Chains A and B, each alone.
Chain A
Amino acid sequence: MNAASPRALRLPKLFDISWARVFAVFLKELVQMRRDRPTFAIMIAMPVMQLVLFGYAINNDPRHLPAVVEMREDGPLTRAFLASLRASSFVDIVAVTPRADAADAMLRSGRATFLISIPEGFERRMVRGERPQILVAADASDPVAAGGALGAIQSIADQAFAPELQGSLRFMARAPPPYELVIHRRYNPAGVTAFNIVPALLGVILTMTMVMITSIALTRETERGTMENLLATPVRPVEVMIGKTTPYIGVGAVQVVIVLMVATFLFQIPFTGSFPAFLVAVTLFIFANLMLGYLISTLARTQMQAMQMTFFVFLPSILLSGFMFPFRAMPGWAQAIGESIPITHFLRIVREIVLKGAGFSDIATDLWQLALILVVLAALALMRFRRTLD
């Protein structure tokens, strides 16, 4: 045997993918996944659990939210309104104060979720038919909580003033109401709603499970000692990568179906956009997350480390992706981080498609950015794969 130029031979050899070997790894992972019942169960139960938890929070009218009333005028009408607020189970009046700064401070510090402000001369102007304003400022940094209760305050006001508007004031008890309810959402002007959250939740669920599962793909082999045997065979890094990640596409697909069904039947969210575009996007997104997890597993030395790194990825995925806070309202550096993680692009795509009826052309930019992220992650993972035990 004459191996005169081993260097020249090495590179092509590394990349001559054998689909038979890929299939071998794929099959093995599939069997192991099937035998690992608890993990498998969690992967299926997680989307249901999260949706139900979130759905519960969204569906249920929030009650007993603390409110501070800034009362600049004390009269029969305003007292009646205050009494109705007190009687209502939606809000709990924690303080009544004539001072604007004190009320403001309570809202800012979070001791109150609402600030209900009745201005000076309210009654007089109401009687004159000038439609005075009741100002409601909501701390919408907890948008789910704030959103539901705002509607409640409107109806409380209606009911509170109705019995007072009898007799000589009867003429006022007709639409439109003789006052104006002005609502300010503070800290989160976008005001996220259920329609906004459920499609986005698909992104969060897929990120969590896909990254978490693949992040231990290699570390598990290392910890169980099976890596040594695997590396002693002629299997190539690319083959391990493909074979180890593809079984989880199936898991991702099941999760997508679950979320879509819950979104449609439980939350009645209309799917307005192009379904093929959605399929392409969700497939790319699943791949990108699998690669992200796989990259982690090439970096971590133990399963414990892999888990910690996974949570390190979750933080920006939730905080900087536009899931929690409006993306455009974030500072530049935070947006830059957001742009580099898969979920940010997926959230935009899925909201565009599901809620705004978008098709391929509308999501093209985010789609190729997602593809770019996928390629970069895969390349990094392959570079990081240790072909020896060093």
Chain B
Amino acid sequence: MSDDIVIDVNGLTKSYGGRMVVDHFDLQVPRGAIYGFLGPNGSGKTTTIRMVCGLLKPESGEGRVLGFDVLNDSLSIKERVGYMTQKFSLYEDLSIRENLDFIARLYGLDNRHARVDKALEDLGLVERQSQVAGKLSGGWKQRLALAACMIHEPQLLLLDEPTAGVDPKARRDFWDQIRRYSAQGVTTLVSTHYMDEAVQCDSIAYIAYGKKLLDAPTADIPKQINLACWRLEGRPLQQAQDMLEGAAGVDLVARFGAAIHVCGRDPALLERTVLNVREAQPHINIQRIDAGFEEIFIYLMAESRDNFQ
């Protein structure tokens, strides 16, 4: 194992009630990376993250996180990892300061008072420090949770959908913060639903039904997916869209302003369908384009709907 691989897990498997929720999952995350973890609801992201930080025992598989064995040394891992849960899991009946203070004590931090002060300052929570956490809005709760999982200066951040349900401004601030930590050498594994967040990651792992389908540097993803795309413009656009929807070879139809982008994994089949549409609607212009991140991620998210069974 190289010291520069912070998360190095292989074959992690977990099932609930006989159903494999995470199926032989491998992941290698290099030091300092921001690794995006994508997948539809119920695909097994949370379960995987919990196994990585020792909150769930994998049925099979093994691995090391920050050099410590995930199966036998989860206490050492917990001391060095900051885990932000998907659902807010700090105490709603404690104030912001009390929550941070509690966490700081559990990590046995020196200069606790100063650290809590600094955390409050960094996150702009100084004025609200004596407010009870339960009364905070979603965005502020997010900030508090991040502050809490950063207070012991972890080397690895595990963020489980940290920006779900937060307004765009708060999301941008949040990512600025993540990038600042990353610049300081903190490694981040972050699960997300948002395409604009996914493209900010260095690498992306994509999971569906507990299986990893894709794992590559973000820049390489379009090549890997190999999605054929066409752009359709003109009138009547709505009729064209209705014809394309569900037609042979069409995996994705998306409106981009005054145009339609239609994509599919089978270029020949897609081309035939697009030409058929043009024949029926002669005022529509068609044009072959390269698939961008937008198309790729819309495709990925649309491809597998919620995985709950």
Contacts and interface: CB of A to CB of B under 8 A. Distances in A.
Contacts of A9: 73
Max count, chain B CB within 10 A of own CB: residue among A32, A227, A231: A231
Given A10-B75, A231-B55, A32 B105 contact: no
Interface stretch (A21-29, A157-165, A252-260, A285-293): A21-29
Contacts of A109: none
Given A3-B68, A13-B75, A224 B105 contact: no
B25 interface: no
A6 B55 contact: no
A272 interface: no
Contact of A10 (B73, B88, B148): B73
B55 A233 contact: no
Contacts of B56: 388-390
Contacts of A6: 68-69, 72-73
A31 B89 contact: no
A224 B90 CA distance: 9
Interface in B88-117: 88-94, 98, 102-103, 105-108
Contacts of B90: 226, 229
Given A3-B69, A36-B93, A390-B56, A28 B98 contact: yes
A382 B50 CA distance: 22
B89 A225 contact: yes
B57 interface: yes
Given A31-B98, A228-B55, A232-B78, A7 B106 contact: no
A41 interface: no
Contacts of A13: 75-76
B93 A234 contact: no
Contact of B89 (A10, A24, A228): A228
B73 A388 contact: no
A229 B89 contact: yes
A247 to B, nearest CB: 14
Contact of B105 (A20, A232, A236): A20
Contact of A35 (B3, B93, B107): B93
A14 B75 contact: yes
Chain B's interface size range is 35 or more
A96 interface: no
B187 interface: no
B13 to A, nearest CB: 14
A13 B79 CA distance: 12
B53 interface: yes
A340 interface: no
Contacts of B103: 233
B67 interface: yes
B73 A32 contact: no
Contacts of A28: 91, 94, 98, 102
Contacts of A77: none
B159 to A, nearest CB: 12
Contacts of B88: 225
A241 to B, nearest CB: 15
A340 to B, nearest CB: 33
A18 interface: yes
A229 B67 contact: no
B85 interface: yes
A3 B91 CA distance: 35
A175 interface: no
A24 B55 contact: no
Nearest to A387: B74
Contact of A21 (B54, B98, B108): B108
A251 interface: no
B87 interface: yes
B111 to A, nearest CB: 14
B93 A24 contact: no
A235 interface: yes
B50 A389 contact: yes
Contacts of B148: 229
Given A6-B73, A229-B90, A390 B78 contact: no
Closest 5 CB pairs of A and B: A24-B105, A229-B89, A6-B72, A1-B67, A233-B106
28 contacts: A1-B3, A1-B68, A3-B68, A3-B76, A6-B68, A6-B69, A7-B72, A9-B73, A13-B75, A14-B75, A21-B106, A24-B106, A27-B105, A28-B98, A31-B93, A31-B98, A225-B88, A226-B89, A228-B85, A229-B83, A229-B85, A229-B89, A229-B148, A233-B107, A388-B57, A389-B55, A390-B56, A390-B57
Interface of B: 3, 50, 53-57, 67-69, 72-76, 78-79, 81, 83, 85, 87-94, 98, 102-103, 105-108, 148
Given A3-B68, A27-B102, A31-B94, 15 more contacts: A13-B75, A21-B108, A23-B105, A28-B94, A28-B102, A32-B93, A225-B88, A225-B89, A228-B87, A228-B89, A229-B85, A232-B81, A234-B108, A389-B55, A390-B56
